[in-house]
């Protein structure tokens, strides 16, 4: 008993908190729309109350006409009034529906804006945390449906409360003794609706992980990116079976849940009918005793029906808010991360270039990992130098590049520009001076112009510079040959869009980096998908293409690496060797071994295959 009371108190407290949060969310989304919606609710409640009073006037007039043989014209005014109020109810419902749709859309927009602000503000480290990523996914998945449900719930709840209050006032003004009777008739509905909303909430909470899995399994079978592999590995049948199994579990639970709800609805309605009969009998008794007139009794019956509808709306609203509760909690936690994220990215204005860039004893461990990806790594780049990073898979090359690009902070050690530790500079300012082509660069499903121009958004409309960057990357003729040239979407998702080959995409990514026009350029395997001629041309002209810029490039192809001014060899997160190609070959260490392995593979492929 005590436990159940505690649970109820917790539910009430939670509902109060959720309502406050929903109101804040709607208010922040658009004050005007919120005020208009709230005013319409109040108007709706007043009109419902007026309806009851007018019904009484109509009944009074009808009874007078029949008993006194008075002129039927006496009925005309109340009837017209009733028709007018009924029309007003219908009009207000239509306006409310539109207003609610608008408010839902505005709340959805505001939710997306808040979510994108946080996603853009947090450091890359956040994306390594499963907690952050899960929450982001949940907020994102729900951001499309929940705001609608939430505003509907809020409006339903407010409307239900206002309507019930309006009806109570109307009844009191008719005959105060009727009020307890009305409340009695509403009691079974009150309890059954509350129980139903609790059941629905528990069901929604319990099913969330399963529904998420079902959504994912559906997506993996319909996604464009996944389509190749699903076919190549013949996964369609197996994935479909999993989808069916998850769906079957869900429908089994849904059936059981709906059976419970039906039982509850039957019990609630039976109890309601019994209470209604008792209320009507009490009304007859009051009429017999002359305490209540026939017209008042008629109006009371109308009020009972209206009150039942209001109570149902009220509980449905509370239930919808409850169901959106998890989403609201996720959103609140997510948004709360923003100030700390912004603080972490803030700092003094960064210089726009450097004469020397050094990494001093960098150590870095990915969140959730136990072994460091970088262990006491030190390297140096002079302005205008081309420096290469080599090493086996997983040796830490990309991680080092990310630290130098100010995307991660080292656990210990420092990245220095002209001797100054860059951790004191604003991250965004630092990154402006760095252009990176990642191994897994982004293929923006936007126009060719955007794909290059996004390298530097403040110069996006500089068509000549965009075209020049494309020329340097050797992708200009491909773009000119597209159906709408620079305006062609590089995606089949859009009408007239075209996809490119992997190597052409890589050139687009290079063009984007060239367009950025930054003093420090990081190229992570920039030629992995280029044909031999294009790769040769790129590295032959790298100095000319990047005229005087400092370049750090990562490559597994030693033919390209040998042209670098200096080469750093990474092994298991540590720098094991460094020097020019000739120096490293003379040293006859790890680098020389890897170089010879690759050279031998080119020169005597048969021997390697055998």
Cβ proximity to ligand ATP: between 180 and 394 the closer is 394
H-helix or E-strand spanning residue 430 = helix 427-432
**Residue 300 burial (CB count, 10 A):** 28
Cβ proximity to ligand ATP: between 439 and 559 the closer is 439
What is residue 524's three-state secondary structure? strand
Residues interacting with ligand ATP, by CB under 6 A? 128, 366, 369, 373, 391, 393-399, 439
Distance from C-alpha of 136 to C-alpha of 145, rounded to nearest angstrom: 15
Cβ proximity to ligand ATP: between 8 and 369 the closer is 369
Cβ proximity to ligand ATP: between 325 and 372 the closer is 372
Cβ proximity to ligand ATP: between 143 and 362 the closer is 362
String of b and e for 380-407 (b: at least 16 CB within 10 Å)?
ebeeebbbbbbbeeebbbbbbbbbbbbb
Cβ proximity to ligand ATP: between 177 and 365 the closer is 365
Task: Report the candidate in 193, 170, 171 with the shortest Cα–Cα distance to residue 182.
Answer: 171
Distance from C-alpha of 146 to C-alpha of 328, rounded to nearest angstrom: 9
Provide, rounded to whole angstroms, the least separation between the CB of residue 126 and ligand ATP.
12
Provide, rounded to whole angstroms, the least separation between the CB of residue 573 and ligand ATP.
7
Distance from C-alpha of 566 to C-alpha of 381, rounded to nearest angstrom: 9
Distance from C-alpha of 250 to C-alpha of 242, rounded to nearest angstrom: 12
Distance from C-alpha of 306 to C-alpha of 323, rounded to nearest angstrom: 26
Provide, rounded to whole angstroms, the least separation between the CB of residue 595 and ligand ATP.
16
Task: Report the candidate in 246, 420, 296, 253 with the shortest Cα–Cα distance to residue 348.
Answer: 420
Backbone angles phi, psi at 382, to 5 degrees: -90, 150
Distance from C-alpha of 394 to C-alpha of 254, rounded to nearest angstrom: 47
Provide, rounded to whole angstroms, the least separation between the CB of residue 440 and ligand ATP.
10
Provide, rounded to whole angstroms, the least separation between the CB of residue 512 and ligand ATP.
20
Provide, rounded to whole angstroms, the least separation between the CB of residue 552 and ligand ATP.
12
Cβ proximity to ligand ATP: between 84 and 361 the closer is 361
Provide, rounded to whole angstroms, the least separation between the CB of residue 389 and ligand ATP.
8
Distance from C-alpha of 304 to C-alpha of 181, rounded to nearest angstrom: 9
Provide, rounded to whole angstroms, the least separation between the CB of residue 393 and ligand ATP.
4
Are 230 and 236 in contact by the 8 Å Cβ rule? The answer is yes
Cβ proximity to ligand ATP: between 393 and 610 the closer is 393
């Amino acid at each position: 008993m005590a436990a159940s009371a505690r649970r109820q108190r917790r539910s009430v407290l939670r509902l109060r908190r959720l309502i406050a949060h929903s109101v804040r969310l709607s208010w922040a989304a658009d004050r005007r729309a919120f005020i208009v919606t709230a005013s319409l609710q109040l108007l709706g409640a007043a009109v419902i109350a007026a309806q009851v009073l007018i019904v009484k006037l109509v009944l009074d007039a009808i009874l007078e006409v029949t008993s006194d043989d008075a002129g039927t014209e006496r009925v005309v005014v109340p009837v017209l009034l009733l028709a007018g109020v009924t029309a007003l109810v219908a009009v207000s419902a239509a306006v409310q529906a539109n207003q609610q749709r608008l408010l839902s859309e505005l709340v959805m927009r505001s939710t997306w804006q808040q979510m994108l602000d946080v996603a853009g503000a947090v450091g890359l480290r956040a994306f390594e945390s499963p907690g952050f990523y899960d929450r982001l996914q949940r907020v994102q998945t729900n951001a499309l449906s929940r705001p609608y449900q939430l505003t509907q719930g809020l409006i339903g709840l407010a409307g239900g409360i206002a309507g019930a209050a309006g009806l109570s006032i109307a009844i009191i003004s008719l005959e105060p003794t009727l009020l307890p009777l009305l409340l009695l008739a509403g009691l079974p509905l009150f309890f059954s609706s509350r129980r139903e909303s609790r059941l629905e909430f528990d069901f929604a909470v319990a099913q969330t992980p399963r529904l998420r899995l079902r959504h994912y399994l559906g997506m993996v079978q319909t996604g464009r990116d996944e389509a190749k592999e699903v076919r190549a590995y013949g996964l369609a049948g197996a994935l479909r079976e999993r989808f069916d199994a998850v769906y079957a579990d869900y429908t089994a639970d849904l059936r059981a849940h709906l059976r419970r709800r039906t039982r509850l609805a039957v019990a609630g309605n039976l109890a309601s009918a019994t209470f209604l009969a008792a209320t009507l009998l009490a009304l007859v008794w009051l009429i017999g005793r002359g305490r209540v007139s026939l017209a008042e009794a008629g109006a009371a019956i109308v009020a009972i029906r209206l009150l039942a509808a209001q109570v149902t709306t009220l509980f449905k609203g509370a239930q919808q808010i409850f169901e959106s509760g998890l989403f609201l909690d996720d959103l609140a936690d997510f948004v709360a991360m923003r100030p700390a994220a912004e603080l972490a990215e803030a700092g003094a204005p960064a210089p726009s270039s450097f004469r020397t860039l050094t990494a001093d004893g960098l150590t870095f461990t990915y969140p959730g990992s136990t072994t460091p990806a970088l262990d006491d790594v030190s390297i140096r780049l002079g302005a205008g130098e081309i420096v290469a990073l080599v090493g086996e898979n997983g040796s830490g090359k990309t991680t080092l590049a990310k630290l130098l690009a100010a995307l991660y902070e080292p656990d210990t050690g420092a990245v220095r520009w002209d001797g100054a530790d860059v951790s004191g500079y604003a991250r965004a300012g630092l990154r402006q001076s760095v252009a990176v082509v990642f191994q897994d660069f982004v293929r923006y499903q936007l126009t060719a112009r955007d794909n290059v121009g996004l390298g530097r958004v403040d110069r996006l409309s500089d068509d000549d510079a965009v075209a020049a960057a494309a020329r340097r990357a050797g992708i200009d003729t491909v773009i000119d040959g597209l159906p709408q040239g620079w305006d062609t979407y590089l995606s089949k998702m859009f009408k007239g869009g075209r996809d490119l080959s992997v190597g052409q995409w890589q050139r687009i990514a290079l063009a984007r980096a060239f367009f950025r026009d930054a003093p420090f350029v990081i190229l992570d395997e920039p030629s992995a998908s280029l044909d031999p001629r294009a790769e040769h041309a790129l590295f032959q002209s790298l100095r000319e293409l990047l005229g005087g810029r400092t370049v750090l490039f990562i490559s597994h192809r030693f033919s390209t690496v040998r042209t670098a001014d200096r080469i750093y060899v990474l092994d298991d997160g540590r720098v094991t060797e460094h020097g020019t190609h000739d120096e490293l070959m003379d040293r006859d260490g790890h680098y020389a071994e890897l170089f010879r392995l690759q050279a031998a593979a080119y020169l005597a492929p048969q021997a390697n295959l055998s």
